Every structure is written in C-alpha cells, then in structure tokens.
Amino acid sequence: MELFINQVLAGVATGAIYACMALAVVMIYQAIDHLNFAQGEMAMFSTFIAWQLMQWGVPYWWAFLLTLAFSFAGGIAIERALFKPLAKAPVLTNVAGFIALFAIVNSVAGLTWDFTIKPFPTPFGNSPFLGSQLISTHQAGMIGVTVGLLILLYLFFQFTRIGLAMRAAAALPESARLVGINTSWMIALGWGMASAIGAIAGILIAPVVFLEPNMMGGVLIYGFAAAVLGGLSSPLGAVIGGFLVGIFENLAGTYIGHVGNELKLPIALALIIIVLVLKPAGLFGRPIVKRV
Amino acid sequence: MSSVEETANEAPAVEAVPKKAMTLGMGASLVMLALLIIGPMFVKNFIVFQLTMLLIYALAVLALNILTGGSGQFSLGQSAFYAVGAYTSAILMEHFGVNYAVTLPIAGLICFGFGYLFGQPALRLSGIYLALATFALAVAMPQLLKLGVFEHWTGGVQGLVVTKPDAPFGLPISQDRWLYYFTLTVAIGIYIASVNLLKSRSGRAFMAIRDNEIAASAMGVDVALYKTLAFGVSAGITGVAGGLGAIAVQFVAPDAYTITLAISLFLGMVVGGVGWLPGSIVGSAFIIFVPNIAEGISKGLSGAVFGVLLFLVIFLVPHGARQVAMVAQHMLGKLGKG
C-alpha cells in the first residue's frame, strides 16, 4: 500500500509537468480550434530566453516577467505573420504550418544555444517537500503555480469582458463579429496567451528535465494526451488529465512487470484511447451537439 | 460551434473532386510514365536507389491519401503500418527464406487486417481524437518492436539485415536497377487499382462519408463498414510500401519507423494535395529531397530552412501540387481554344 501511495505521489509530481503543458494546449485550442504542434518548441524557446536573461545577470523574477512579455508578443507576432494568412487555407495545411514552425524554432534554438544540456534554477528550492522524498518543493511549487494559473484563467474567461469576447469569438465567430467583436485580434490574443502560458510551463519544467532544444518532445506528447483525456474544451479537465496521465504512467511502470518500464508510454496512451472510446469528448469535455 | 466535430468535418477540406481531377490527363500520365521508365537507365546506382525510395514513399503517401482524402479520416499512425509491413517482409525473407516478391502481398494482407482491426475502435473517434489515437499507435510501435519477447524474430534494437535480391533470369542489370523496376511495376499496379477504387461504388461511399457522414448513412452507406475498410486498404498499401522499403534499404530497425516518418508522410500528402492521388509522387519528392536541399543550404540551420521552404509551399499553394496541376490544366485549355 505504501508503495502504491508513493507511486501515486510521484505520479502527481510528474503529472504537474503535463498539466502545465496541457493547460497551454487547451488555451490555444480554445482560441484557434487547432492543436498547435509547435507549442512545446515555442515554450522551449521562451525558456531559453529566460535562461539567457539570467546569464546576463537579470534577477530571476525580472527575467520571468520579461520572458512572459516577450512570449506574449512573440505569440501574437507569429499569428499575425504566419497563420493569419493561412486562416482560409484547409485545416491540414495549417497543421503542416505548425510542423514547419516546429522545425524552424527547434533548429534556430539549437544553433543559438547549442544542444548541450543546461541546468535551470528554481525559485522554490529542491529540498524534500513535507519530509517526502518523492515530491520536492519545486514540484510542490509547480503544482501550486498550475492551480493558481487555472484559477486566474477561470476568472479571466468567466468574468472579464475580453475573456468573454474571446470565448465568443472561438465559439461562434460569425455571430461574434456581428456584435462587434474583433475576432481576428481575439485569435491573436489567444496565441499570445497560449505562448505566455507555455513560457510559464517551460520555466517550471526546465529545472526537472533540464534545458535543451529537445526538452519538450516527450512532455508535449503527454501534454496533448492529458488535454485530450480531460477534454479539450475544459481547462480544469486538462489539468486533471495531466495529473491522471502522470499517475497512470507511474503505476504502469511499477506494477506491470519488467515490460512495464519499457512500455510506460504506450500503456499510458492505450489507457487514454480506452477512455476516449468510452467517452469520446474526454472526461470533462462537453459532448458536442451538432446541427445537421 | 467551436467544436472538435467541426474541425473533423473540415479536415478533408476538399471540394467534391471532379472525376477528371482524380487522374492526370492522359498525355501527362504517359510523359510521367516514360520519364519513370527511361530516367533511371542513365543515372548512378545511388540515384536509382533514391528514386526507388521516391516510389515507395509515394505509395505510402497515396495510402494516406485514400484514407484522409478519400474517407476523411485523419491518421498520424501510418508509420506503424509501414513498420509492420517492413518487418513482415524482413522476417519472412530472413527466417523463412520466402521469396521477396511473395512477401509483399502477405505484408499487405497482414497490414490490411491490422488496419481493419484498428479501424474498429477508431470508429468512435474523429478529428483531433482520431489523430491522437493514431499518433499513440505510431509512438508505441518502435517500443513494441524492441520488446524482448519478440527479439528472436525482430532482432530487438539491432534490427534485421535483409539480403538484396538479384535480377532474375540473369538479366544484365544491377540489383538497384532491378529493384527500381520491380518497385515501379508494383507502384503502377497499386496506383491504377487505387484510382479505380476511388471511382468505384466503394470510393463514392468513402467520399460520401467524408463530405457528410449523416447524409451518407441516410443514403444507405454502411458508415462503419466503409470507414474501417478505408483504414484497412490504407494500411494494406502502406504495408506493401513498408515491405518494399525494407528490401530497398536492406535493413529494418525499430528506430527507422518513428513518429517522424508518420509526420513526413502527412507532409507529403499536404504538399501533394489532399485527395489527389497523382500528387502523392510530388509529395514524396518533397519529403525525400527537400531535407537534403535544406542541408545543402545550411548545415546548422537545416531544420529552419526546411520549415521556411514548407511555409513557402503552403503560402503559395495551400492546396498543394493539385492546385498547380489545375492551374496548368486551365491554362492549357485556354491555349487550346485560342
């Protein structure tokens, strides 16, 4: 039993990483209705910016804020320059665009900062949290930040004018335009916010997985899985999905014999598919009602 | 209605395809065929090998095109079917001494079954969710191939070495050239079969499902059957391509069939034009040669150059090679009249 609880705790700790990423994924999905395959790479790039600022002697929190501002502006710039012209192109062409963006960002980061692994500081320290060896203060801090972010997002989308306008633009673009919402800029804003949330995720994840251009590869897969599992229309679902995926993965690695560890990822993904087959809109997503 | 469902229905994003557009014009086809037959006689063995790979990837892209362009189902898991085909061929040849040509239909059949079975749970999913499920399959496949249990057959992480077949009947051509013509024959056969499939009753059923699932079922199309069938056919063709790939590369290893391959095939489909079968070879050329060109332009930034080139293509022709062909046809038509 103790082993079980320990593994669940360890799962929650890794789950926090996925939850963070899943939140960014859902954010952009809400704004543009696509999964952005380049999200992880954008987050990685932002994290490198933070690292670079700190290398230049900027204090941690200033670097953090500057990076957020940069990521927000960068997200908007990418949308304006690259994806606004593609708005009328077929969906699959857009997906190809994300893949192109992925390749560009990854390669530029690799050339600028090379592929060596770099340590990244954490503001929370790395001592055991409440005497538990499995969860460090950094991971606890990460869970705290994720939950805080979730609450902020909820408040933003529920109670601010602009949050409401963004939801309207995503849900019913035509009608939103008719009531005077600038839907095109709402999408850009969505990119900016998703990029900033991605930056937060990257900065929180970097101390755990270390900083390098390919750091997000694995994380993004789990982030997508978590977002889809929780339901793409629900930020809360995404966060819960993230924790569940983390726990799934750890338990599979522990209990399913020697195969378990090799097959951690496939088993986690298979479980997710089973959930999806039973509940196609994800655990917390609204089932889609379609007019025909 | 910001819904996944909507994305899914948009996904094929092709207008009902006019029948003529499914095939190249007769003249263009003949010129292409002549080029494919005569071209390799005059080039070095390495280029012949690359052309063989071009045909093989074109087959795999064509398979995805039938699935996505035809029936409107999205798949990021084609690399898994390709791997199964490759391993089937390799294991049959190396462990059982089966003739290479015989392994291909077997690989196709096994992959057809695999795809058909995979299509069953996938029936419940569409759009992004289907993408994730197929993606999971692609991610899982290399891990499964590495498993200790199958190591006796698959060679584990090391993979298997496949012997390259000699030209039969003592034909005086090199192994590479022989393999090229062999692949070309298979590819042409499958291409013609695919064009006919999409023109047939089943093909119309695929497209009806793609354009409007509910309307299709109201007209009496067995949606579940045709959706899984599309998966099966697509997987089967991909399996044959995988088998050919294993013979051409002379080697199979788990890490050759990662998600990167599935993404390449997807890009090939988009660049070639979704739902336009002749575009498959253009798409295949893109995914084989453009990374090399990018590498040539800048070693350190090859990824970035590739991305920029890809952006250029989708900015200029969002509908891929198909758009180019249509414009060309239009202009030729005008010339003919004038």
Asked whether the beta carbons of residue B4 and residue A288 sit closer than 8 angstroms, the reply is: yes
- B228 vs A: CB within 8 A: no
Closest CA to B287 of B61, B49, B24: B61
Residue A58 · residue A66 · CB < 8 Å: yes
Distances (CA, A) of A95 to A45, A149, B132, B134: 20, 28, 14, 15
> Which tens digit of pLDDT belongs to each residue from A94-134?
888 888 898 889 888 888 888 888 888 887 777 776 666 66
Q: Which two tokens stand for residue A128?
A: 């055991």
Residue A226 · residue A238 · CB < 8 Å: yes
**Chain B residue with minimal CA distance to A218?**
B139
* Rounded Cα distance, A204 and A46, in Å: 12
Helices A2-32 and A183-209, interaxial angle, to 10°? Answer: 150
pLDDT value of residue B15: 44
In this complex, the residue of B4, B74, B124 whose CB is nearest that of residue A232 is B4
- A221 vs B: CB within 8 A: yes
pLDDT exceeds 50 at position B24: yes
Residue A128's SS3 state is strand
pLDDT value of residue A111: 86
| Secondary structure E strands in chain B | 160-161, 251-252
Q: Which two tokens stand for residue A58?
A: 């900027």
What's A287's DSSP letter? Answer: P
| Secondary structure E strands in A103-146 | 128-129, 132-136
pLDDT exceeds 60 at position B259: yes
Residue B183 · residue B49 · CB < 8 Å: no
- B319 vs A: CB within 8 A: yes
pLDDT exceeds 70 at position B62: yes
Measured in angstroms, the CA of B265 and the nearest CA of chain A are apart by: 11
- A93 vs B: CB within 8 A: yes
**Average pLDDT of the residues in A43-47:** 91
* Rounded Cα distance, A161 and A277, in Å: 37
Helices B45-65 and B259-272, interaxial angle, to 10°? Answer: 80
Q: What residues contact residue A135 under an 8 Å CB cut-off, 6+ apart?
A: A9, A10, A12, A13, A128, A129
Q: Is the dihedral of CA A199, A201, A207, A212 positive or negative?
A: negative
* Rounded Cα distance, A200 and A61, in Å: 12
Residue count (chain B) = 338
* Rounded Cα distance, B91 and B330, in Å: 49
- B4 vs A: CB within 8 A: yes
Q: Which two tokens stand for residue B264?
A: 């390449």
Residue for token pair 């034909």: B171
Tell me which of A92, A269, A276 to substitute to probe the interface with B (most B C-beta atoms closer than 10 Å): A92
Asked whether the beta carbons of residue B319 and residue A90 sit closer than 8 angstroms, the reply is: yes
Residue B301 · residue A108 · CB < 8 Å: yes
Report which secondary-structure segment, H or E, holds A135. strand A132-136
What's the pLDDT band for B5 if we cut at 50, 70, 90?
very low
- A–B CB contacts, 8 A cutoff, strictly below: 154
Chain B residues 147-166 with CB within 8 Å of chain A: 147, 149
Residue B164 · residue B250 · CB < 8 Å: yes
Measured in angstroms, the CA of B308 and the nearest CA of chain A are apart by: 7
Residue for token pair 């003592």: B170
**Average pLDDT of the residues in A206-226:** 82
Measured in angstroms, the CA of B139 and the nearest CA of chain A are apart by: 7
pLDDT exceeds 50 at position B2: no
- B323 vs A: CB within 8 A: no
* Rounded Cα distance, A80 and A86, in Å: 10
Distances (CA, A) of A113 to A59, A64, A110: 20, 19, 6
* Rounded Cα distance, A244 and A14, in Å: 10
* Rounded Cα distance, A62 and A53, in Å: 9
**Average pLDDT of the residues in B227-246:** 92
In this complex, the residue of A88, A101, A170 whose CB is nearest that of residue B307 is A101
Asked whether the beta carbons of residue B144 and residue A272 sit closer than 8 angstroms, the reply is: no
More confident residue, A158 or B164: A158
Bridge partners (DSSP) of residue A239 are none
Closest CA to A22 of A226, A249, A284: A226
> Which tens digit of pLDDT belongs to each residue from A50-100?
999 998 988 888 999 999 999 999 999 998 988 888 877 777 888 888 888
* Rounded Cα distance, B79 and B88, in Å: 14
pLDDT exceeds 70 at position B147: yes
Asked whether the beta carbons of residue B315 and residue A106 sit closer than 8 angstroms, the reply is: no
**Chain A residue with minimal CA distance to B121?**
A277
Lowest-confidence segment of A35-44, A58-67, B51-60, B187-196 by average pLDDT: A35-44
pLDDT exceeds 70 at position A291: no
Greatest mean pLDDT among B198-202, B293-297, B334-338 lies in: B198-202
Tell me which of A34, A42, A93, A224 to substitute to probe the interface with B (most B C-beta atoms closer than 10 Å): A93
pTM for this prediction: 0.83
Asked whether the beta carbons of residue A92 and residue B13 sit closer than 8 angstroms, the reply is: yes
* Rounded Cα distance, B130 and B76, in Å: 9
Measured in angstroms, the CA of B126 and the nearest CA of chain A are apart by: 9
A125: left (phi over 0), alpha (psi -120 to 50) or beta: left
> Which tens digit of pLDDT belongs to each residue from A166-195?
888 877 888 888 988 888 888 888 889 889
- A246 vs B: CB within 8 A: no
pLDDT value of residue A65: 92
Asked whether the beta carbons of residue A111 and residue B214 sit closer than 8 angstroms, the reply is: no
* Rounded Cα distance, B320 and B317, in Å: 5
Q: Which two tokens stand for residue B219?
A: 């007209």
In this complex, the residue of B125, B149, B270 whose CB is nearest that of residue A96 is B270
Distance from chain centroid for Cα B62 = 4
**Average pLDDT of the residues in B180-190:** 90
Residue A136's SS3 state is strand
Asked whether the beta carbons of residue B307 and residue A103 sit closer than 8 angstroms, the reply is: yes
Lowest-confidence segment of A3-7, A103-107, A111-115, B277-281 by average pLDDT: A3-7
Asked whether the beta carbons of residue A89 and residue B318 sit closer than 8 angstroms, the reply is: yes
In this complex, the residue of B125, B271, B307 whose CB is nearest that of residue A280 is B125
Asked whether the beta carbons of residue B318 and residue A90 sit closer than 8 angstroms, the reply is: yes
pLDDT exceeds 70 at position B3: no
Measured in angstroms, the CA of B36 and the nearest CA of chain A are apart by: 28
Q: Which two tokens stand for residue B326?
A: 């249509």
Average pLDDT score, chain B: 82
* Rounded Cα distance, B266 and B76, in Å: 7
Asked whether the beta carbons of residue A171 and residue B1 sit closer than 8 angstroms, the reply is: yes
Chain B residues 168-227 with CB within 8 Å of chain A: 214
Residue B21 · residue B277 · CB < 8 Å: no
Closest CA to A195 of A290, A282, A78, A72: A72
Closest CA to B118 of B135, B100, B143, B96: B135
> Which tens digit of pLDDT belongs to each residue from B194-235?
988 988 888 889 888 888 888 888 888 888 888 899 999 999
Instruction: Give ipTM to 2 decimals.
Output: 0.78
| Secondary structure E strands in B79-173 | 160-161
* Rounded Cα distance, A57 and B172, in Å: 70
Residue A148 · residue A16 · CB < 8 Å: no
pLDDT value of residue A9: 81
- A87 vs B: CB within 8 A: no
pLDDT value of residue B16: 43
In this complex, the residue of B5, B13, B132 whose CB is nearest that of residue A290 is B5
Q: Which residues of A touch B308 (CB under 8 A)?
A: 100, 104
> Which tens digit of pLDDT belongs to each residue from A261-285?
667 777 777 777 787 778 777 777 7
More confident residue, B255 or B59: B59
Per cent of chain A over pLDDT 90 is 10
Bridge partners (DSSP) of residue A129 are A132
Q: Which residues of B touch A101 (CB under 8 A)?
A: 307
In this complex, the residue of B305, B315, B320 whose CB is nearest that of residue A85 is B315
* Rounded Cα distance, A45 and B95, in Å: 48
More confident residue, B15 or A204: A204
Amino acid at residue number A9: L
**Average pLDDT of the residues in A143-160:** 87
Residue count (chain A) = 292
CA gyration radius for chain B?
A: 20
Asked whether the beta carbons of residue A228 and residue B315 sit closer than 8 angstroms, the reply is: no
Closest CA to A222 of A230, A233, A211, A234: A230
Measured in angstroms, the CA of B138 and the nearest CA of chain A are apart by: 9
* Rounded Cα distance, A57 and A60, in Å: 9
CB atoms within 10 A of CB A55: 11
pLDDT exceeds 70 at position B156: yes
